[in-house]
């Protein structure tokens, strides 16, 4: 089907959402990719990155998985590290091992590491950081919800006891929960503006301005010189996509995440595209029990909604062809991906109408639906295509900052959103499980609970078992996915970068001088 002209060339702002969009990680980390720690590497004078997000503060408790992660990665190492393909490698912990039931994780720590204030890194520092992270309950405190106790065995060994198996816990140790600050600075107001970490760079406070730019210089005595690819790294906060594009094209910055429309300008100016797929975008059909919209309790209604969308046309006109049509929420890198589910609900308005009639709604129904200034055009397209099968979206404009809170509070039966395609357990706990933020009506069934339990206790088979969860929520149409979005990250002539799995923006370690 053809979309109206007003729908074409809309800004693909959802491609930059959460990520959950997303995530910490690394590519050329210590003891990974065959590079010995401490090896000398080529450096250039400086690199400047354009970031669409600022950090709340430099205190690790304020770190949040997403676009601001590179700001923290310059100054803080994590306990574990994610390679570019998402595999977990050593960083501050050189070895790690679970007990038989995956409830006690033992970490062996790297020797000879110090924080920027000279304090040695050891097991006591790990315990202090993790206890503080859990107690303060920062933005990403959910990452340590499963932690029961952190214990020092000896200076180089620490054990972390969990309340129950958590298949995502190692992954969380590559993110905010894994950032290590000097124990002397924890809990002090100074840490919010003056980071004290063991990372490859230190903050140049004199040349940094909150909300504008942060300048970092190469740290003397850092334990892994291979990660110090630049003498200086500057991160400029540029929340507007047009401003980032102009800064990149003019040479003021070396790298930035853009949207498809601005990407055309960047490519025309000779910028290099580094493309990856991280987020999926579509409709969350929250009210599967019909608490405020009784119609959504019928699986045939939810399946009809899925059949209503012409995903190919949406991709071409809304996202300039950037993305891959899908009807599942798990991507190829997630571990729970099932190829056949990408086309479980092909575009078929007549079938959609038939399903609605079978469900008892031959004349359709109305759903109150939230929209924001940044998503009005895309939601207008959704409304147009659903109207073609008899479902009316009653669009209600709300402020963008209220969207997640309102949806999580169960104010709406359905809503548009984008989230990063994480590992199976992260996605299950984020959007599928009974206590998940994006399952506001706490929908579940005995069959689903059994499948989730299998994943939680599946150990190395956890990802494979999650394919059953993926199949269940897809067949029962818990969501109406539209696309796996292309993340369009551009670099100039002086810098090369590799995309990061599960992450919209690359980790700070993924950049290197262009050869």
CATH number of 18-232: 3.40.190.10
pLDDT tens, position by position, 61-96 = 999 878 899 999 999 999 999 998 889 999 999 999
Q: Of 400, 395, 411, give the one whose Cα is nearest residue 372.
A: 400
CATH number of 280-485: 3.10.105.10
Distance of CA 439 to CAs 122, 340, 409, 428, 449, Å? 39, 25, 9, 10, 14
Residue 137 is predicted with a pLDDT of: 87
Residue 405 is predicted with a pLDDT of: 87
What is the token pair recorded at 81?
A: 């590290």
What dihedral do alpha carbons 485, 420, 13, 368 form, nearest 10°?
A: 110
Residue 420 is predicted with a pLDDT of: 82
Contact predicate 389/304, CB 8 Å: yes
Residue 306 is predicted with a pLDDT of: 98
Give the residue ranges of the chain where pLDDT is below 50: 1-43
**Which helix (DSSP H) or strand (DSSP E) does residue 361 occupy?**
none
Residue 44 is predicted with a pLDDT of: 58
Classify 510 as helix, strand or coil: helix
Distance of CA 324 to CAs 84, 214, 276, Å? 21, 35, 11
Domain ranges of the chain: 18-232, 280-485
In degrees and rounded to multiples of 5, residue 16 shows phi and psi of -105, 15
DSSP per residue over 90-135, as a string? ESSEEEEEE-TTS-EEEEEEPSS-B-TTSPBP-HHHHHHHHHHHHH
The structure's pTM equals 0.82
Contact predicate 255/49, CB 8 Å: yes
Q: Of 297, 345, 296, give the one whose Cα is nearest residue 482.
A: 345
């Amino acid at each position: 089907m053809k979309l109206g002209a007003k729908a074409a060339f809309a800004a693909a702002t959802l491609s930059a959402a959460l990520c959950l969009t997303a995530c910490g990680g690394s590519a050329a980390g210590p003891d990974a990719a065959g590079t010995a720690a401490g090896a000398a590497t080529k450096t250039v004078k400086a690199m400047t990155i354009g970031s669409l997000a600022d950090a709340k503060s430099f205190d690790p408790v304020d770190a949040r998985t997403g676009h601001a992660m590179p700001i923290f990665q310059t100054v803080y190492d994590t306990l574990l590290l994610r390679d570019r393909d998402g595999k977990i490698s050593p960083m501050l912990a050189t070895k790690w091992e679970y007990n038989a039931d995956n409830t006690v994780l033992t970490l062996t720590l790297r020797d000879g590491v110090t924080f920027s204030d000279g304090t040695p890194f050891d097991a006591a520092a790990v315990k202090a950081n993790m206890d503080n992270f859990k107690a303060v309950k920062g933005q990403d405190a959910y990452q340590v919800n499963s932690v029961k106790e952190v214990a020092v065995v000896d200076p180089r060994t620490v054990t972390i006891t969990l309340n129950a198996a958590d298949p995502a816990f190692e992954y969380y140790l590559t993110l905010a929960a894994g950032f290590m600050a000097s124990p002397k600075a924890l809990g002090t107001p100074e840490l919010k503006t003056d980071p004290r970490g063991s990372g490859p760079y230190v903050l140049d406070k004199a040349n940094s301005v909150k909300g504008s730019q942060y300048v970092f210089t190469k740290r003397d005595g850092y334990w892994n010189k291979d990660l110090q690819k630049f003498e200086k790294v500057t991160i400029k906060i540029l929340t507007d996509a047009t401003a980032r594009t102009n800064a990149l094209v003019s040479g003021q910055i070396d790298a930035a995440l853009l949207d498809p429309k601005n990407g055309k300008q960047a490519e025309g100016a000779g910028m290099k595209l580094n493309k990856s797929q991280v987020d999926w975008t579509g409709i969350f059909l929250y009210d599967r029990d019909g608490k405020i919209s009784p119609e959504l309790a019928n699986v045939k209604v939810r399946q009809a909604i899925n059949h209503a969308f012409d995903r190919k046309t949406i991709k071409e006109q809304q996202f300039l062809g950037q993305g891959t049509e899908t009807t599942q929420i798990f991507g190829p890198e997630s571990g729970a991906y099932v190829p056949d589910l990408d086309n479980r609900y092909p575009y078929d308005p007549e079938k959609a109408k038939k399903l609605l009639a079978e469900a008892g709604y031959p004349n359709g129904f109305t759903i109150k639906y939230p929209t924001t200034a940044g998503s009005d055009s895309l939601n207008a397209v959704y409304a147009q295509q659903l109207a073609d099968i008899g479902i009316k979206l009653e669009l209600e404009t709300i402020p963008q900052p209220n969207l997640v809170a309102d949806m999580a509070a169960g104010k709406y039966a359905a809503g548009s959103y984008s989230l990063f395609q994480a590992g199976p357990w992260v996605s299950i706990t984020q959007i599928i499980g009974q206590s998940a933020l994006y399952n506001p009506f706490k929908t579940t069934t005995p069959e689903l609970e059994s499948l989730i339990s299998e994943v939680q206790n599946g150990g190395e088979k956890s990802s494979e078992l999650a394919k059953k969860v993926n199949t269940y929520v897809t067949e029962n149409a818990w969501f109406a996915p539209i696309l796996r979005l292309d993340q369009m990250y551009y670099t100039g002539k002086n810098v090369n970068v590799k995309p990061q799995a599960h992450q919209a923006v690359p980790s700070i370690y993924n950049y290197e001088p262009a050869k």
